[in-house]
Structure 1
Amino acid sequence: MARRRFSVTRFPGFAPIALTAFVLLYAPIIIIVIYSFNASDSVALWGGFSLKWYVAAWGNEAVQDATLRSLVIASVAACVSTIVATMAAIATTRRSRFRGQTFIYVMINQPLMVPEIVTAVALLIFFAAIRVATGYQGLGYLILAHSAFCIPFAYLPIRARLEGMDLSLETAAADLYATPWMTFRRITLPLLAPGIAAGAMLAFVISLDTVVITEFIKSAGQDTLPTYMLGQLRRAITPEVNAIATALLALTVLLLTAFFLLTRRRG
């Protein structure tokens, strides 16, 4: 008699537990999306279908400023972190093993292993000293803080792509007297492009959604969209917040879907 292959789905109670987990994860998100179309001023009472809160959010100057600021910070931070992550990934994969390689890998991924608030406090202390010394109060601190936090998120898909690439083409280019820069530009970079794009999109999403680091680093008048929403939740709550959250959710899902399509392995 053939032995049945092990499967966790055959455990007693697996289906109810999985269903409960999905409900707890996605029911609040579904409720937010539904109530973003609520015609009532209440966030708890349904008053009919309406798009007025999307219109209100679109015309809200504070929302416009926070959204533009978030997009600028996320775009620049994604570019900076992706460039640094690409260089780090090449330096740690396109050479033989060396002493301290594991330590370097751990340090690059350090923001993933410690609580975000610890990173936020460390960046606050660091940038506070720079503020005192220079008097500069601009968005540069937020951009640098987001860039530092996003580097490991961009590094992981880029490193994974490099580790899956065959070295034979790069070796052949070197045998044909191609310079290291020409080999990188003509061979490595085109093959690495999907990993770089995936890392950039993941870094953009992480920067766009970061609240803790932004709260610690930002100065007055530098609210991003998530911190603006957090401030609104401390005051009178209207379905306008639900509309903003739904729009942010749609953008995040779109980018993560593109990230999945770029990183999945083809047969």
Structure 2
Amino acid sequence: MQKIKTTYLAFIVAFLYAPIVVLIAQSFNASRYRGQWTGFTWEWYEKLIESEDIINAFSNTLTIGVTSAILATLLALVTALGMRQMGRQSRMLLRGLANVPLLNADIVTGISLMLLFLGLGLKLGYDTILLAHIVISLPYAMLCILPQVLTMDNVWYEAARDLGATPFQAFRKVILPELMPGIVAAFLLSFAMSADDFIVTYFTKGAGIETLTTEIYSELKLGVHPEMYALSTLFFCGVLVFAALLMLNYKVIRRYRAAERRGQEV
């Protein structure tokens, strides 16, 4: 039975990652044609770095991702702290409304945001992409921060206030460190959602600006070039890095909570 389980797990992993392995191998293939290996090369990565369009798309992806992640995390933190002061029914209602965008189709979100921006007289471009990415990242950021805020104990905050700390000092030195694992997770997840998004970006970007996902789509319409294999490989590696950081952050959260429980038992 154990052998069957191992074989089944290996099959699932191979089924999921075999296409990505082929993509990575093709990005180092000296041949421009698929299915024909003629030797190892860095040529496609060199051409990728020399492409001004790719560099601009990467810059837009990075700046929009970081900015939207910071703003979404701050908004999620403020909202979560406000929800903590609400009654139970009001809090449940707001949590339900915050979770609806998680279930909504991306194409519906993209079209509705495009219509909203056009209705407000905004020109589609960098700013509208940034606003759209804040909207789609906020529910995920709240999902990371809200549980920690709701289970937070007020004892340490009240103790700091009794010892003469101002509300801001008590928040910065007591509340913020306790919520830091959730805040880091919210930032990383928000950045990953922003960098990976295509549909919402496609409907809100306007002309003359591209992110990596829309640039890949534009290049693929003209034909699959080896540089796209290299770009997709780097994109996948970036996702792996963020996944590793999220897993590391969750381990830190578990250790923190375990240490907190041991302190309460003592």
Normalised-by-shorter TM-score class: 0.7 to 0.9
Which of 100-109 and 65-74 deviates more?
100-109
* 2:135 counterpart letter in structure 1: A
**Cα displacement string for residues 93-130 of structure 1 (whole angstroms, at most 9, x for unaligned residues):** 3x364332111012222221111111112111101112
1:120 equivalent among 100, 106, 110: 110
Kept in 2, the 8 Å contact 1:63–1:225? The answer is yes
Q: Which residue of 1 aligns with 2:212?
A: 225
CA distance in 2, matches of 1:161, 1:69: 32
Tell me: CA distance 1:137–1:124, structure 2 relative to 1, closer, same or farther (3 Å): closer
Q: CA RMSD in A?
A: 2.0
CA distance in 1, matches of 2:96, 2:118: 26
Query: How many correspondences in the alignment?
Result: 254
C-alpha deviation, 1:183, in angstroms:
1.7
CA distance in 1, matches of 2:42, 2:151: 47
CA distance in 1, matches of 2:25, 2:120: 45
SS in 1 for 2:88: coil
Tell me: CA distance 1:118–1:17, structure 2 relative to 1, closer, same or farther (3 Å): farther
**Cα displacement string for residues 27-60 of structure 1 (whole angstroms, at most 9, x for unaligned residues):** 1111111111111111332221111000010001
CA distance in 2, matches of 1:116, 1:44: 34
Kept in 2, the 8 Å contact 1:157–1:263? The answer is no
2:57 matches 1:66: yes
Q: Which residue of 1 aligns with 2:188?
A: 201
Percent identical across equivalent pairs?
30
Kept in 2, the 8 Å contact 1:43–1:237? The answer is no
2:66 equivalent among 51, 75, 88: 75
Q: Which residue of 2 aligns with 1:150?
A: 137
* 1:63 counterpart letter in structure 2: I
Q: Which residue of 1 aligns with 2:91?
A: 101
CA distance in 2, matches of 1:66, 1:123: 21
Q: Which residue of 2 aligns with 1:7?
A: none
CA distance in 2, matches of 1:20, 1:124: 42
Tell me: CA distance 1:146–1:86, structure 2 relative to 1, closer, same or farther (3 Å): same
TM-score after normalising by structure 1: 0.87
Tell me: CA distance 1:46–1:161, structure 2 relative to 1, closer, same or farther (3 Å): farther
C-alpha deviation, 1:23, in angstroms:
1.8
CA distance in 2, matches of 1:257, 1:215: 28
Kept in 2, the 8 Å contact 1:120–1:213? The answer is yes
1:172 equivalent among 159, 162, 167: 159
C-alpha deviation, 1:187, in angstroms:
0.7
Kept in 2, the 8 Å contact 1:116–1:212? The answer is yes
* 1:74 counterpart letter in structure 2: G
2:82 equivalent among 76, 91, 114: 91
- Greater share of helix: 2
Kept in 2, the 8 Å contact 1:43–1:239? The answer is no
CA distance in 2, matches of 1:96, 1:125: 33
